[in-house]
Amino acid sequence: DGGITQSPKYLFRKEGQNVTLSCEQNLNHDAMYWYRQDPGQGLRLIYYSQIVNDFQKGDIAEGYSVSREKKESFPLTVTSAQKNPTAFYLCASSIGTNLFSLHFGNGTRLTVT
Protein backbone atom coordinates (compact mmCIF):
# COMPACT_ATOMS: atom_id res chain seq x y z
CA ASP A 1 0.00 0.00 0.00
CA GLY A 2 1.23 3.50 -0.80
CA GLY A 3 1.62 5.94 2.01
CA ILE A 4 3.80 8.02 4.25
CA THR A 5 5.76 6.47 7.08
CA GLN A 6 6.99 8.50 9.98
CA SER A 7 9.29 7.03 12.55
CA PRO A 8 9.55 6.69 15.41
CA LYS A 9 6.03 7.21 16.74
CA TYR A 10 7.35 8.45 20.09
CA LEU A 11 10.72 10.09 20.71
CA PHE A 12 12.24 11.26 23.95
CA ARG A 13 15.32 13.46 24.13
CA LYS A 14 17.24 15.50 26.62
CA GLU A 15 17.40 19.23 26.21
CA GLY A 16 20.40 20.32 24.16
CA GLN A 17 20.43 17.28 21.87
CA ASN A 18 19.65 17.37 18.19
CA VAL A 19 17.14 14.80 16.98
CA THR A 20 16.13 13.68 13.51
CA LEU A 21 12.62 12.62 12.58
CA SER A 22 12.20 10.32 9.62
CA CYS A 23 9.63 10.69 6.85
CA GLU A 24 9.45 8.33 3.88
CA GLN A 25 6.82 8.19 1.14
CA ASN A 26 6.19 5.70 -1.65
CA LEU A 27 3.48 7.70 -3.36
CA ASN A 28 5.87 9.14 -5.95
CA HIS A 29 4.83 12.62 -4.81
CA ASP A 30 7.00 15.56 -5.72
CA ALA A 31 6.22 17.84 -2.78
CA MET A 32 6.76 17.11 0.89
CA TYR A 33 6.00 19.14 4.00
CA TRP A 34 6.67 19.23 7.72
CA TYR A 35 4.08 20.60 10.12
CA ARG A 36 4.14 21.06 13.86
CA GLN A 37 1.01 20.64 15.98
CA ASP A 38 0.71 21.80 19.57
CA PRO A 39 -2.19 20.77 21.87
CA GLY A 40 -5.47 22.39 20.84
CA GLN A 41 -3.78 24.12 17.95
CA GLY A 42 -3.81 23.88 14.23
CA LEU A 43 -0.85 22.86 12.14
CA ARG A 44 2.03 25.24 11.50
CA LEU A 45 4.33 24.81 8.53
CA ILE A 46 8.01 24.28 9.31
CA TYR A 47 9.60 23.46 5.95
CA TYR A 48 8.50 22.27 2.56
CA SER A 49 10.18 20.86 -0.51
CA GLN A 50 8.82 20.91 -4.04
CA ILE A 51 11.61 18.93 -5.69
CA VAL A 52 14.70 16.98 -4.76
CA ASN A 53 17.62 19.07 -3.48
CA ASP A 54 15.39 22.09 -2.91
CA PHE A 55 13.42 23.20 0.15
CA GLN A 56 11.89 26.35 1.53
CA LYS A 57 11.28 27.72 5.02
CA GLY A 58 7.74 27.77 6.30
CA ASP A 59 6.28 29.93 9.03
CA ILE A 60 8.28 28.51 11.94
CA ALA A 61 11.59 27.25 10.51
CA GLU A 62 13.85 28.61 13.26
CA GLY A 63 15.58 25.81 15.15
CA TYR A 64 14.82 23.21 12.47
CA SER A 65 16.68 21.88 9.44
CA VAL A 66 15.76 19.53 6.60
CA SER A 67 17.28 17.79 3.61
CA ARG A 68 15.79 16.35 0.43
CA GLU A 69 18.41 14.14 -1.15
CA LYS A 70 15.88 11.62 -2.43
CA LYS A 71 12.35 12.05 -3.69
CA GLU A 72 11.07 9.55 -1.15
CA SER A 73 12.67 11.01 1.94
CA PHE A 74 12.39 14.31 3.80
CA PRO A 75 13.96 14.06 7.28
CA LEU A 76 13.53 16.84 9.81
CA THR A 77 16.20 17.69 12.39
CA VAL A 78 15.10 19.46 15.52
CA THR A 79 18.17 21.29 16.76
CA SER A 80 19.06 22.49 20.22
CA ALA A 81 18.28 26.01 19.01
CA GLN A 82 14.55 25.22 18.94
CA LYS A 83 13.20 26.77 22.15
CA ASN A 84 10.08 24.64 22.60
CA PRO A 85 10.65 21.40 20.68
CA THR A 86 8.08 19.25 22.49
CA ALA A 87 5.25 18.79 20.02
CA PHE A 88 3.54 16.46 17.56
CA TYR A 89 5.28 16.53 14.18
CA LEU A 90 3.45 15.65 10.99
CA CYS A 91 4.95 14.96 7.60
CA ALA A 92 2.83 15.25 4.47
CA SER A 93 3.18 15.01 0.73
CA SER A 94 1.26 16.13 -2.33
CA ILE A 95 1.31 15.04 -5.92
CA GLY A 96 2.71 18.30 -7.18
CA THR A 97 3.04 21.96 -6.54
CA ASN A 98 -0.44 22.58 -7.90
CA LEU A 99 -1.70 21.54 -4.55
CA PHE A 100 -4.79 19.38 -4.43
CA SER A 101 -4.65 17.58 -1.15
CA LEU A 102 -2.10 16.50 1.38
CA HIS A 103 -1.41 12.95 2.41
CA PHE A 104 -0.22 12.75 6.00
CA GLY A 105 1.85 10.32 7.99
CA ASN A 106 0.74 9.33 11.48
CA GLY A 107 3.13 11.68 13.18
CA THR A 108 5.98 11.59 15.65
CA ARG A 109 5.40 12.82 19.17
CA LEU A 110 8.63 14.39 20.43
CA THR A 111 9.16 15.04 24.11
CA VAL A 112 12.22 16.97 25.22
CA THR A 113 13.02 17.17 28.92
Partner 1 sequence: SQQGEEDPQALSIQEGENATMNCSYKTSINNLQWYRQNSGRGLVHLILIRSNEREKHSGRLRVTLDTSKKSSSLLITASRAADTASYFCATDALAGGGADGLTFGKGTHLIIQP
Site for partner 1 in 31-90 (CB under 8 A): 31, 33, 35, 40-45, 48, 50, 56, 58-59, 88, 90
State which H helix or E strand residue 86 sits in. Answer: none
Q: Report the nearest approach of partner 1 to the CB of residue 63 (Å).
A: 18
Spatial separation of the C-alpha atoms in residues 33 and 23, rounded to whole Å: 10
Smallest distance, Å, CB 41 to partner 1?
6
Residue type, 31: A
3 to 40, 56, 65, 93: CA distances (angstroms) = 26, 23, 23, 9
Interaction of residue 110 with partner 1, rule CB under 8 A: no
Q: Hey, what amino acid is at 41?
A: Q
Q: Which residues bind partner 1 (CB under 8 A)?
A: 4, 6, 31, 33, 35, 40-45, 48, 50, 56, 58-59, 88, 90, 92, 97-107, 109
